[in-house]
Structure 1
Amino acid sequence: MRASATGSSADGTAMSHLYLSEDLDLSAVSPGDDVRLTGEEARHAVTVSRLRAGEQVAIGDGRGTLAQCVVLETAPRELVLEVAAVEQTPAASPRITLVQALAKGDRDELAVQAATELGVDRIVPWSAARSVSRWEGAKAEKGRARWASIVREATKQSIRPWLPAVAPLTPTAGLATLLAGARVLLLEPTAETPLTGIRHDGRDLALVVGPEGGIAPAEIERLVAAGAEPVRLGASVLRTSTAGPAAIAVLNAELGRW
């Protein structure tokens, strides 16, 4: 799909459109090489974005490499590109994981989209006790695939070199195992410690965001017993769609990402 944002490579050259192809190994290409973009990405580029020979695009593999290219040839489901420049970005350290509770409407999806644009590294769909929305049976994989699609499009929109992973639906009982080794920050409006008071200690970070009705007391007790730290964002109570992205913005500043 076409990205509507613009970014720049290490040499300052504009990247106006980003296309992703996880099948390409861009880490092995060099300026002057030809690469082929095929499938749905190529079809969209040619038939929807109407790219033509001579135009510039960026392609990524979702694993840290972006290549700035010039279109050489087009076909209905194929683009032949000449690589002009290659930029490799190491994976972020520490990593930030967003554990996002399922929410009604599109509020959880809005959180996923914004979190991706803001630089989250992994997203975990959480079936919280107070989640109105439920992914049951085949709906669990369908929901995860939907979130993965949103993450992919947001990655292209923000021209990110790394594609965040979307984990399978996880119940409260499985969070401690899934987040083992990470510093788990539980967003809770009544917590005494502000998120702005947290100082990085070297561990990966995980933000846990509850649904519309908040995190149930029993879940808070269980997560705290497993090592989670309750923190608050401020005096106001944010929606589940904005709490995670707002917290990621705070952590970006603390970690020096911004």
Structure 2
Amino acid sequence: MSLPVHLVDSLAGARGGDVVVVEGDEAHHAVAVRRLREGELVVLTDGLGISATGTIVGTAKRRLEVRLDEVATAPEPTPSVTVVQALPKGDRGELAVEVLTEIGAARIVPWAAERSVAVWKGERAERGHARWSSTAREATKQARRAWHPQVLPLTRTEKVLDLMRDAALAVVLHEEATTPLAGLEVPGEGDVVVVVGPEGGLTGAEVSAFTQAGALSVRLGSEVLRTSTAGVAAVAALLSRTARWTATSGS
């Protein structure tokens, strides 16, 4: 049975024998929800590559004290994957974030595409970003990742173009493309950017802007996937041809 995983702000410099204090909502979840008690083993991680196994030595309502037994450091996975996800309607955005986190995306970028049905403005944008961030946080623990993904603020097309220009490989999923994703050579290092359009599809202007910025317009296959699942399928196809999926360390 896997040990429960909890997040801490930092484990930099931590060593075996140190006592780490977890407070706030994370400690409340461990003590009140999971009902963890003294003497039980847990895993702590800071999301920056450091994880530690330890023994609970003290609990309170919103406080958890853990004596570290073993500390391990994992290198940051490469290539890293950034997924630019057009805003889906309903709760499909959280579904996409959850599975993209589990599969190993390093960054998830909510994108206001021209044909996005959902609109994030003002407080709604703040709530939407908070939901995506919370979803990524919980999925990270479930997937036991040593490196946690970033959920960036809502992004416009101009910022997506900047991401593409700095990428080792950038692809745009488009059902009318003639180049198959399966035929691409995936770089072993750098950042891979995957752009997923909205339910209404990408506009010609968007596709043109992306390809001019260096992205490749590609198709997954003859089937048309939902926006909440297309990115997951694409990232899986790309990572399956890298050393990341043959490694044993967490991501």
In which range does the TM-score fall when normalised by the shorter chain?
over 0.9
Task: Quote the offset at 1:234 in angstroms.
Answer: 1.2
Task: Quote the offset at 1:63 in angstroms.
Answer: 0.8
How big is each residue's C-alpha offset from its partner over 1:202-246, in whole Å with a ceiling of 9 and x where there is no partner?
A: 441000001111111121111111111011111111111110111
Contact 1:18 1:159 in 2 (8 A): yes
- Matched with 2:175 is 189
1:29 pairs with 2:14: yes
Of 110, 120, 127, the match for 1:142: 127
Measure, in 2, the Cα distance between the counterparts of 1:63 and 1:26: 9
- Matched with 1:104 is 89
Q: Which amino acid aligns with 1:104?
A: K
TM-score (ref. length: structure 2): 0.93
How big is each residue's C-alpha offset from its partner over 1:132-181, in whole Å with a ceiling of 9 and x where there is no partner?
A: 00001232232212211111111011111111111111111221124431
- Matched with 2:248 is none
1:91 pairs with 2:81: no
Measure, in 2, the Cα distance between the counterparts of 1:209 and 1:164: 17
Which secondary structure state, in structure 1, belongs to the residue aligned with residue 170 of structure 2? strand
Q: Which amino acid aligns with 2:186?
A: H
- Matched with 2:159 is 174
Contact 2:88 2:116 in 1 (8 A): yes
Q: Which moved further from structure 2: 178-187 or 220-229?
A: 178-187
1:1-258 matched pairs, under 5 angstroms:
15-22=2-9, 25-182=10-167, 183-201=169-187, 202-258=189-245
Q: Which amino acid aligns with 2:64?
A: L
Measure, in 1, the Cα distance between the counterparts of 2:126 and 2:77: 27
Measure, in 1, the Cα distance between the counterparts of 2:6 and 2:164: 31
Contact 2:180 2:218 in 1 (8 A): yes
Contact 1:102 1:127 in 2 (8 A): yes
Task: Quote the offset at 1:192 in angstroms.
Answer: 1.5
Number of corresponding residues? 243
- Which structure 1 segments of 5+ residues have no match? 1-5, 7-14
How big is each residue's C-alpha offset from its partner over 1:178-203, in whole Å with a ceiling of 9 and x where there is no partner?
A: 44311210011221111111112344
Measure, in 1, the Cα distance between the counterparts of 2:194 and 2:143: 21
How big is each residue's C-alpha offset from its partner over 1:64-87, in whole Å with a ceiling of 9 and x where there is no partner?
A: 111111111111111111111111
Identity %: 48
Contact 2:30 2:36 in 1 (8 A): yes
TM-score (ref. length: structure 1): 0.90
Measure, in 1, the Cα distance between the counterparts of 2:119 and 2:194: 21
- Which structure 2 segments of 5+ residues have no match? 246-251
RMSD between aligned residues: 1.3
Measure, in 1, the Cα distance between the counterparts of 2:6 and 2:225: 33
Q: Which moved further from structure 2: 155-164 or 26-35?
A: 26-35
Measure, in 1, the Cα distance between the counterparts of 2:94 and 2:61: 32
Task: Quote the offset at 1:34 in angstroms.
Answer: 1.4
Measure, in 2, the Cα distance between the counterparts of 1:177 and 1:128: 15
Q: How has the CA–CA distance of structure 1 residues 248 and 216 changed in structure 2, closer, same or farther, with 3 Å as cutoff?
A: same
Contact 2:165 2:214 in 1 (8 A): no
- Matched with 1:3 is none
Contact 1:30 1:85 in 2 (8 A): yes
Which secondary structure state, in structure 1, belongs to the residue aligned with residue 85 of structure 2? strand
